């Protein structure tokens, strides 16, 4: 019995010391691990903890403003709130979102269906770019899993008036049309970063501040003068509606600098409201659409012949009997003008006369001169979709008919932008300035033709606007102006169509000291009036009258009011 008791005592002691030893070992191991964690792995643990509670978020950069040449805003960014949700959390915690739906303009069913459709996600936008009042109302609901995020929304103060120049951005403020697209990198800036602490439900615990400051985008100053832009927009829109036309374009260029002062198209669009946006309205026809320029290139045919020494300013061209046969084709004038001097060729817009000039020159020389002026070549303005134009024949195989049609504006296709470039050369004494949408000072341009010849041709074009010319309705009271009309048959599936026209006018003002060049294109006017002198010339007159006064150009022509009234 004593032996048994002694054995049990020894066994109990052994178990006691074993348990105590094991406990001591566990304590030592725990102490070592705690020391390791607290001393040796502090940075690692803090980093792991931060990953589960500290969040970095992007801070949107302010997109640079777009302004006109007088610092009037054309595009600005304003702070707005966007509403987001965590569908996973909302469903897990069974959060009641019935009060949220009407604030968002949705039914409870619609909102629930959207949450259910994204139940595996932790972030979705419920609505972007909301007004501050609505976002404040949502914030007061204090719903878990629902939050607001600050963003910026692009606003266009000029709306339709400058829509084709400025373009617009998408909802994330990335440019997708116009200057917004062409200069997107310059405007967009660099986003910053901020850091916050959130709990496991994604609720904000503490804002730790900004870690990287957002760099705002750069401001962009355009050459556009919003005052002139508005005049051009108003007159073009009114005329397109009056003549029930398909479309229209108008460009105004500063002669000395090549700056584009106004650029409008019809139909236009409102970039602030794109619910019913149509592709036809967005297209910037001034740079994308090509057309045969017709009689508007006749001054350049005359200039090329003068430069080549084929004619003099007092030369006489016989246009009798009013038509010209080339093979099985006939080139006609409106009537038999008989003998015409060089000025008379432009005044009467004689196809026969310029065709005879092209025979002297040859089609290749004439085409080369057109290209020096900028016709049929990309201007390189930078706007999306710019068309380079085209010539309809192989430039190495010019025949008489091709040379003739080229001389009066058929067989080649140009944009309004290219036609404006060509007339800028003529108005600037033969010096070509690169066209630009950015405000800039005059630079040394490239001489394309002698100054005297350019001045002589401009003087000849004054007669086109005179009592005997084709553009009497382009007259501008108080100023001398010069220009050329064009009425072009459009091409259809079966060739040129008799009832579809482009009405054109290219004008220079004032003619005695040119400041601006204006190109007007009206596409398919419907009605009794369709000639360039009837449709496009009056637009030039009204726009130029207002623009010269806004530019503080002093009137130099003082006429008897009865004469001026008759010319109008």
Does residue 22 belong to any structural domain of this protein?
no
pLDDT, one tens digit per residue, over 92-144 is 888 888 888 888 888 888 888 888 888 888 788 888 887 777 888 888 888 88
Distance CA(462)–CA(481), nearest Å, equals 6
Report which secondary-structure segment, H or E, holds 58. Answer: strand 54-59
Residue 27 confidence (pLDDT):
78
The whole model's pTM is what?
0.83
Does residue 11 belong to any structural domain of this protein?
no
* pLDDT tops 60 at residue 505: yes
Query: 235 and 329: one domain?
Result: yes
Q: Is residue 295 flagged as an active site residue?
A: yes
User: Domains in the chain: how many in total?
Assistant: 2
Query: 236 and 210: one domain?
Result: no
Structural domain span for residue 519: 226-269+284-567
Lowest-pLDDT choice from 118-122, 313-317, 318-322, 406-410 = 118-122
Closest CA to 146 of 115, 176, 169, 188: 115
Query: 427 and 561: one domain?
Result: yes
Active-site entry in 77, 223, 286, 295: 295
The CATH number linked to 113 is: 3.90.1310.10
Query: 205 and 322: one domain?
Result: no
Locus of tokens 């020159």 = 361
Q: What percent of the chain has a predicted confidence (pLDDT) above 70?
A: 88
Distance CA(554)–CA(530), nearest Å, equals 33
pLDDT, one tens digit per residue, over 389-408 is 887 766 567 889 999 999 99
Does residue 560 belong to any structural domain of this protein?
yes
3-state secondary structure of 146: strand
Query: 307 and 431: one domain?
Result: yes
For the chain, the average pLDDT equals 87
Query: 159 and 234: one domain?
Result: no
Query: 209 and 234: one domain?
Result: no
Pairing between β-strand 247-254 and β-strand 323-326 as defined by DSSP bridges: unpaired
């Amino acid at each position: 019995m004593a032996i048994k008791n002694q054995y049990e005592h020894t066994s109990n002691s052994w178990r006691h010391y074993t348990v105590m030893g094991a406990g001591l070992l566990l304590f030592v191991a725990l102490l070592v691990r705690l020391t390791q964690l607290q001393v040796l792995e502090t940075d690692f643990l803090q980093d792991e903890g931060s990953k589960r509670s500290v969040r970095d978020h992007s801070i949107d950069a302010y997109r640079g403003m777009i302004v006109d040449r007088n610092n009037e805003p054309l595009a600005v960014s304003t702070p707005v709130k966007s509403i987001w949700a965590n569908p996973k959390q909302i469903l897990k915690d069974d959060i009641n979102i019935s009060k949220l739906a009407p604030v968002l303009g949705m039914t409870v069913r619609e909102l629930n269906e959207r949450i259910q459709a994204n139940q595996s996600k932790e972030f979705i936008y419920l609505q972007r770019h909301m007004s501050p009042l609505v976002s404040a109302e949502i914030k007061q609901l204090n719903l878990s899993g629902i939050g607001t995020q600050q963003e910026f929304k692009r606003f266009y103060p000029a709306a339709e008036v400058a829509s084709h120049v400025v373009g617009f951005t998408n909802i994330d403020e990335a440019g997708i049309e116009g200057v917004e697209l062409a200069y997107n990198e310059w405007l967009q800036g660099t986003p910053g970063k901020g850091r916050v602490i959130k709990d496991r439900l994604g609720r904000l615990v503490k804002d730790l501040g900004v870690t990287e400051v957002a760099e705002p985008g750069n401001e962009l100053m355009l050459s556009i003068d919003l005052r002139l832009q508005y005049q051009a927009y108003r007159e073009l829109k009114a005329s397109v509606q009056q003549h029930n036309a398909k479309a229209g374009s108008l460009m105004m260029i500063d002669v000395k600098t090549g700056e584009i002062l106004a650029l409008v198209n019809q139909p236009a669009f409102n970039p602030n409201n794109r619910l019913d946006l149509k592709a036809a309205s967005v297209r910037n026809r001034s740079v994308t659409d090509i057309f045969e320029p017709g009689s508007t290139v006749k001054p350049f045919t005359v200039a090329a012949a003068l430069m080549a020494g084929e004619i003099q300013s007092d030369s006489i061209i016989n246009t009798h009997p009013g038509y010209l046969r080339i093979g099985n084709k006939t080139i006609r004038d409106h009537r038999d003008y008989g003998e015409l001097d060089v000025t008379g060729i432009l005044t009467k817009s004689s196809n026969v006369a310029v065709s005879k000039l092209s025979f002297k020159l040859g089609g290749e020389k004439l085409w080369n001169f057109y290209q020096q002026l900028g016709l049929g070549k990309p201007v390189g303005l930078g706007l999306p979709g710019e068309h380079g134009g085209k010539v309809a024949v192989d430039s190495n195989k010019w025949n008489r008919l091709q040379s003739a049609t080229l001389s009066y504006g058929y067989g080649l296709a140009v944009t309004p932008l290219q036609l404006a470039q060509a007339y800028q050369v003529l108005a600037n004494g033969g010096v070509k300035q690169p066209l630009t949408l950015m405000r800039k000072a005059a630079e040394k341009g490239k001489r394309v033709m002698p100054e005297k010849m350019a001045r002589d041709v401009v003087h000849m074009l004054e007669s086109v606007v005179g009592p005997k010319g084709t553009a009497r309705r382009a007259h501008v009271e108080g100023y001398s102006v010069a220009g050329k009309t064009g009425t072009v048959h459009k091409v259809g599936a079966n060739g040129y169509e008799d009832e579809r026209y482009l009405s054109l006018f290219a004008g220079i003002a004032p003619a005695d000291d040119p400041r601006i060049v204006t190109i007007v294109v009206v596409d398919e006017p419907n009605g009794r009036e369709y000639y360039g002198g009837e449709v496009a010339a009056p637009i030039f007159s009204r726009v130029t009258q207002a623009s010269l006064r806004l530019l503080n150009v002093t009137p130099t022509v003082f006429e008897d009011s009865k004469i001026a009234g008759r010319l109008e």
